[in-house]
Amino acid sequence: MLVASNRGPVSYTLDETGELAPKRGGGGLVSGLSAIGPEAGAMWVCSALSDGDREAVRRGVGEPGVRMLDIDADTHADAYNGIANSVLWFVHHMLYQTPLEPVFDAEFRRQWASYEAYNRAFAVALAEEAAQGAAVLVQDYHLVLVPRMLRELRPDLRIGHFSHTPWAPPEYFRMLPDDIAAKVLSGILGADRAAFLTQRWADAFTDCCHAVLGPGIPSGTRIGVHGLGADADFLRARAHESDVDERIGSLREQIGTAPDGSPRRSIVRVDRTELSKNIVRGLLAYGQLLEDEPSWRERVVHVALAYPSRQDLKVYRDYMDEVGRVASEINSRYGTADWTPVVLHLKDDFARSLAAYRVADVALVNPIRDGMNLVAKEVPVVSDEGCVLVLSREAGAHEELGDDAVVVNPYDISGTARALHEALSMSPGERAERTKRLTAGATALPPTRWFLDQLHALDD
Ligand code: G6P
């Protein structure tokens, strides 16, 4: 069995003395594959992403079962920053803003050629590594051309493709130039099976195939749905290690106590600082709550953990600045000598994320669109005292958790403010009941099961 993804399970940092240090990545795919163990004989093909990774490839340093591809840095930048993150990600999350975007010009065509070269490098490596009849699981929007390229090189292989993002509806998807739209779809249709996190995204993919390629799924590719759940055992154990306890202490200090001496309530969010996560509207909704319901002033703190992501792209750097600006505005408008309404942390720290999950009274998960959103599933599992989930109806997780969350339209700032008020006002009994049901839903499909289900479905 082989797995292919842009970001692999390990990356290397290079220090001043020239030493390489490996760092294991997180995420469902990594834990799913680790859980089935190295004895499965799996090989993971991924891309070198940093200088440390490239140096590791040159020195022949690596982990058993991982092959990192040292693709020319400019080609990778065009494919990853240019096409994958600025075009395909934006299409599936419906993030473009008229009148200037999107721009499909000569520069786009040049980057597309790099995206094809990048996908070809993966297809060639997979064709080299795969035993006769092996199963190959190709991941995400970075590698949509790989299934068809690989099928041409190695017709004996069983190929699956999995999309971790939403899929755009045809009216939006067809913004892509017609030939590119067709290549994206037929690339994935080179697989025996194309799978998605929810039925909604699978249906959108099928609708796009009909709209762009004509009726029927031409290659006979099967379409599947596998919702990814939280890894409860791992999270519960990790959330009770000493570094998490330490961070709980400092978070509680930052949250502080209300004028009557009771602990303040907390509204927590944890995201990559990503446009689709809708962090700014979340902050504005919190500001609106403080305006509309002054009784919450000095009694609540919004803990926003907004970690840097894709900082090579200006639009992401600008978004990060905007998050900081709006948070400061709320603090200067409503803050007092001993109350900071928004506590914003920008430095990536998994232990602090888990600490925030444990202390959260309310978790705000309000993406514009999201393939699944694992934060929505992780918070109830880890929460110490129960937590109310305010959840966007546009997150994949809504399909499984919607009944037990307070559901919002992510564009509606006033509606989100009302939802926060409702969540903060919920009785402890109701909160505990909901947390119990959310936990059951969130852990129904742990990563190992998610992974093995895909593998078995490919065999059927
Ligand atoms: C999403 C994508 C993943 C990606 C992750 C982090 O979850 O579906 O494929 O790895 O974001 O983004 P990055 O660009 O840092 O890999």
Please write the tens of the pLDDT for every residue from 3-12.
999 999 999 9
Is 281 buried (19+), middle (13-18) or exposed (0-12) by CB count in 10 A?
buried
Residue 36: pLDDT above 70?
no
Ligand 1 atom nearest the C-alpha of 164 is 8
Q: What pLDDT score was predicted for residue 251?
A: 98
Instruction: Supply 425's token pair.
Output: 């006002």
Question: How far does residue 2's CA lie from ligand 1's centre (Å)?
Answer: 19
Please write the tens of the pLDDT for every residue from 345-390.
999 999 999 999 999 999 999 999 999 999 999 999 999 999 999 9
CATH number for 232-443 (one of 3.30.70.360, 3.40.50.2000, 3.50.50.60, 3.40.50.620): it is: 3.40.50.2000
Ligand 1 contact, 93 CB (< 6 A)? no
Residue located nearest, by CA, to atom 10 of ligand 1? 7
Q: What pLDDT score was predicted for residue 220?
A: 82
Residue 35: pLDDT above 70?
no
Closest C-alpha among 133, 197, 194 to residue 376: 197
As a whole number of angstroms, the distance between CA 250 and CA 323 comes to: 22
Helix (H/G/I), strand (E/B), else coil: 159? strand
Tell me if domain 2-228+448-458 and domain 232-443 are identical in fold: yes
As a whole number of angstroms, the distance between CA 68 and CA 54 comes to: 9
Q: Determine the residue of 164, 196, 273, 316 to mutate for testing ligand 1's pocket, defined as the one with the most ligand atoms within 8 A of the Cβ atom.
A: 164
Please write the tens of the pLDDT for every residue from 75-127.
999 999 999 999 999 999 999 998 889 999 999 999 999 999 999 999 999 99
Ligand 1 contact, 164 CB (< 6 A)? yes
Question: How far does residue 89's CA lie from ligand 1's centre (Å)?
Answer: 10
Ligand 1 contact, 25 CB (< 6 A)? no
Q: Please state the rounded mean pLDDT for residues 186-196.
A: 97
Ligand 1 atom nearest the C-alpha of 309 is 15
Ligand 1 contact, 361 CB (< 6 A)? no
| Beta-strand runs (E) in 282-386 | 300-307, 342-345, 362-365
Instruction: Supply 29's token pair.
Output: 């795919």
Q: Please state the rounded mean pLDDT for residues 288-299.
A: 98
Residue located nearest, by CA, to atom 4 of ligand 1? 7
Ligand 1 atom nearest the C-alpha of 5 is 9
Domain spanning 2-228+448-458, CATH architecture: 3-Layer(aba) Sandwich (3.40)
Sign (positive or negative) of CA dihedral 94, 174, 212, 7: negative
Ligand 1 contact, 76 CB (< 6 A)? no
As a whole number of angstroms, the distance between CA 436 and CA 390 comes to: 15
Q: Determine the residue of 146, 272, 307, 350 to mutate for testing ligand 1's pocket, defined as the one with the most ligand atoms within 8 A of the Cβ atom.
A: 272
Distances from the Cα of 3 to the Cα of 77, 100, 130, 158, 335, angstroms: 22, 37, 10, 12, 49
**More confidently predicted of 29 and 441:** 441
User: What is the band of 193 on the pLDDT scale with cuts at 50, 70, 90?
Assistant: very high
Q: What pLDDT score was predicted for residue 203?
A: 97
User: What is the band of 161 on the pLDDT scale with cuts at 50, 70, 90?
Assistant: very high
Percentage of the chain with pLDDT > 90? 91
Domain map of the chain by residue range? 2-228+448-458, 232-443
Ligand 1 atom nearest the C-alpha of 80 is 14
Question: How far does residue 334's CA lie from ligand 1's centre (Å)?
Answer: 35
**Looking at the predicted complex, does its ipTM rise above 0.95?**
yes
Q: Please state the rounded mean pLDDT for residues 40-53.
A: 91
Question: How far does residue 277's CA lie from ligand 1's centre (Å)?
Answer: 13
Residue located nearest, by CA, to atom 8 of ligand 1? 164
Closest C-alpha among 382, 330, 376, 393 to residue 352: 382
Residue 436: pLDDT above 90?
yes
Residue located nearest, by CA, to atom 2 of ligand 1? 164
Ligand 1 contact, 53 CB (< 6 A)? no
Averaged pLDDT score across all residues of the chain: 95
Question: How far does residue 392's CA lie from ligand 1's centre (Å)?
Answer: 20
Q: Please state the rounded mean pLDDT for residues 45-61.
A: 95
Query: Residue 46 belongs to what H/E stretch?
Result: strand 43-47
Ligand 1 contact, 7 CB (< 6 A)? yes
Helix (H/G/I), strand (E/B), else coil: 93? coil
Residue 28: pLDDT above 70?
no
Instruction: Supply 97's token pair.
Output: 């803003």
Q: Please state the rounded mean pLDDT for residues 202-222.
A: 89
Residues with Cβ within 8 Å of 367's Cβ and at least 6 positions away in sequence, in order, are 276, 277, 278, 373, 392, 394, 395, 410
Q: What pLDDT score was predicted for residue 99?
A: 86
User: What is the band of 218 on the pLDDT scale with cuts at 50, 70, 90?
Assistant: low
Please write the tens of the pLDDT for every residue from 310-323.
999 999 999 999 99
Sign (positive or negative) of CA dihedral 201, 204, 209, 215: positive
Question: How far does residue 261's CA lie from ligand 1's centre (Å)?
Answer: 42
Q: Please state the rounded mean pLDDT for residues 178-205.
A: 98
As a whole number of angstroms, the distance between CA 251 and CA 31 comes to: 27
Q: Please state the rounded mean pLDDT for residues 323-336.
A: 98
Q: Please state the rounded mean pLDDT for residues 324-348.
A: 97
Please write the tens of the pLDDT for every residue from 56-89.
999 999 988 999 999 999 999 999 999 999 999 9
Question: pTM for the complete prediction?
Answer: 0.96
Ligand 1 contact, 165 CB (< 6 A)? yes
Strand pairing category for 193-196 and 158-163: parallel
Question: How far does residue 138's CA lie from ligand 1's centre (Å)?
Answer: 14
Q: Please state the rounded mean pLDDT for residues 219-248.
A: 94
Q: What pLDDT score was predicted for residue 460?
A: 79
As a whole number of angstroms, the distance between CA 157 and CA 45 comes to: 16
Ligand 1 atom nearest the C-alpha of 139 is 9
What backbone phi and psi angles, to 5 degrees, belong to 408?
Answer: -125, 155
What is the C-alpha radius of gyration for the chain, rounded to an integer number of angstroms?
22
**More confidently predicted of 30 and 164:** 164
As a whole number of angstroms, the distance between CA 365 and CA 272 comes to: 12
